[in-house]
A and B are shown apart, each in its own frame.
Chain A
Amino acid sequence: MRDLTLILNDWLLAGAGQIGQVLIRRAPSGWELRHLADADRDDLHLQADPVAARHIATLDDAGVFRPLKTAPNLIRGWRLVLRDAGAVRLALDYLYPAMTGVWLSFLNGALVEASLRETLGRQTGMYRVTQRISDSDARTTIDRFCAGCLKQRLWEIDGPNHTPPQLLPPSIPLLCHEACNLLVAEIRKVVKAQTIQ
């Protein structure tokens, strides 16, 4: 059995200091997480429960829901001090869902990317119409929509992204191995708008 907590502990000990907008540092009693932009602040709201990360990740500064956790709008002003790698893993799965596991799969050669056409090709129901998007409209939509996400795309419209992801070890990268439902929904909007025109 794989043990991501144990592996994450190794990553932390090796100095995994950053994931997305989160800074990870050694604390006297474990590990400390805070927003990168709050690196030097000493007036942060301290919490010790990893579940607090869920509520940190829920809304942006304006109180608007963040369905995409890798959007670059994580709120500031908080500090999580967590006792061990297990608690860090749980907190990171709220702040950047699945990203530590996806990174491990990538390192193990077990992360299979899906092209946009593959993702759209299996859609049914209200999203089946997305299969009608042209390559040029898909390109425009990806460039516009994915600009609001910190993940690095491993896929392209018709195959893998041949530009390798930028990896800055020992930091943990945010990797996107296939189009999310938010992008698929955005593509549906584009196709629907063209149908109406």
Chain B
Amino acid sequence: MLHKPNSALVIVGHGSTVNPDSSAPTFDHAEEIIRRGTFGEVHCCFWKEEPSFRQVFHMIDRDDIYVVPNFISEGYFTRTVVPRELELDGAVTIKGHRTIKYCEPVGNNERMTELLLRRVAEVAPGVDPARTSLFIVGHGTDLNENSAVAAKREVDRIAGMGRFAEVCNAYMEESPLISKWDELSTQPNVVVVPFFISDGLHSYEDIPVLLGIAGESLGAASANAKEVFRRNPYSLRGRNLFYASAIGTERMIADVILDQVAVFDAQRAGTAVV
């Protein structure tokens, strides 16, 4: 079990200037890891909120620092913005007496598959997978092409298990479009899981509108925004539709963050990661 009392953990998130639910899962995961006492200290930092990327190193006491991006995939932020703002040279950066270890983003971890299955079981308890179409929904634009790749990878893994009648990719802004979920699936039960790191406009509003389960805007900052996840199942277009909140809100992401640290150590030690 990971135990690093002499190290600090920094969890890096995107954040938002309008929606507190963007950074909330990152803070929640940090608090869970603090509660477990795995690290000597745990901090968060954000692109659009505070503490900022440029402030966070001033918060840290320890010289051995792990940085884990709480992002759904590799991409512009993990490869360009975070290294630039944190002044990282690569996987390991030495700055004076400090060693900063830059881990892979949360979404790259193999346990994301386990989390998706867990989320499906939570949102659609007792529903027979053999009569269920599962959709994993990504953003799907050129800017986020790697998030689409990450979502596709999860679809392939879950499909390979043979448990669900169908496992499908769908996107908000490119084909296959989630708005065509009834044409893309054949089973009486349909489960839709947004493959995002936090809830926000996309999961509260955009996808529900595309699915046809919300007709008008509740607004991402609305106190009622989470209601859309509490009305399952939706009887729509002759199916039972179950809609989950973003996968990044799953409590087990804290384990995935710790796992990314363990993966980093194992890779640097040259040992195989199981």
Contact = CB atoms under 8 A, between A and B. Distances in A.
A182 B81 contact: no
A98 B100 CA distance: 18
A185 B17 contact: yes
Interface in B33-80: 43, 47-52, 54-56, 58-63, 76, 80
A98 B59 contact: yes
B55 A124 contact: no
Question: Among B48, B52, B58, B76, which residue has the most Cβ atoms of chain A within 10 A?
Answer: B58
B33 to A, nearest CB: 13
B27 to A, nearest CB: 6
B31 interface: yes
Interface in A173-194: 177-178, 180-182, 185
A102 B43 CA distance: 14
A125 B84 contact: no
A133 interface: no
B15 interface: yes
Contacts of A98: 50-52, 55-56, 58-59
Given A122-B84, A124-B80, A180-B50, A65 B20 contact: yes
Nearest to A96: B50
A2 B47 CA distance: 26
A114 B52 CA distance: 14
B214 interface: no
A70 B18 CA distance: 16
Question: Among A58, A98, A125, which residue has the most Cβ atoms of chain B within 10 A?
Answer: A98
Interface in B4-44: 15-20, 27, 31, 43
Given A68-B50, A124-B80, A105 B27 contact: no
Interface residues on B, range: 20 to 34
A5 B40 CA distance: 12
A180 B76 CA distance: 19
A86 to B, nearest CB: 10
B31 A51 contact: yes
A104 interface: yes
Contact of B55 (A68, A97, A125): A97
Contacts of A51: 31
Contacts of B221: 64-65
Contact of B47 (A54, A70, A181): A181
A91 to B, nearest CB: 13
Interface in A114-147: 114, 122, 124-125
A98 B56 CA distance: 6
B271 to A, nearest CB: 28
Interface in A63-118: 63-65, 67-70, 93, 97-98, 100-102, 104-105, 110-111, 114
Contact of B17 (A69, A100, A182): A182
Contacts of B58: 98, 101-102, 104-105, 110-111
Contacts of A102: 55, 58
A114 B84 CA distance: 14
Contacts of A114: 54
Question: Among B27, B55, B80, which residue has the most Cβ atoms of chain A within 10 A?
Answer: B55
Given A3-B61, A51-B31, A98-B59, A178 B54 contact: yes
A59 B52 contact: no
A67 B16 contact: yes
A1 interface: yes
Given A4-B59, A54-B27, A98-B51, 6 more contacts: A1-B61, A1-B62, A101-B55, A124-B80, A124-B84, A178-B54
13 contacts: A63-B223, A67-B16, A67-B49, A93-B43, A98-B56, A101-B58, A101-B59, A111-B58, A124-B81, A125-B76, A181-B52, A182-B48, A185-B48
The 6 closest A-B pairs by CB, nearest first: A98-B55, A97-B51, A101-B58, A97-B50, A98-B51, A101-B59
